[in-house]
């Protein structure tokens, strides 16, 4: 997955759950500037991402291409 693909997927997911990154950061107790950099650069750790999405009833799946 490229950075651009991740950013598009991330923004679609935010729309799907009806949250902005600001709201998400406040709920998770994260610093918005740091979190935005991680999502913008696609450098967020798998465990961090899994923790966030699982709180909204989603999972991350690894599949063979």
pLDDT above 90 (res 2): no
- The pLDDT, as a whole number, for residue 62 is 83
Domain ranges of the chain: 3-54
Q: Output the CA angle 15-20-23, nearest 5 degrees.
A: 140
Tokens representing residue 31 in the block? 């610093």
pLDDT tens digits along 4-54: 988 899 999 999 999 999 999 998 888 989 998 988 888 989 999 999 999
Q: Cβ(42)–Cβ(36) under 8 Å?
A: no
């Amino acid at each position: 997955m490229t950075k651009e693909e991740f950013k598009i997927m991330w923004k679609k997911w935010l729309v799907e759950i009806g949250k902005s990154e600001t709201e998400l950061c406040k709920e998770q107790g994260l610093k918005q500037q740091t979190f935005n950099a991680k999502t913008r650069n696609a450098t967020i750790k798998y465990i961090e991402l899994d923790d966030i999405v699982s709180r909204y009833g989603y999972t991350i799946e690894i599949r063979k291409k």
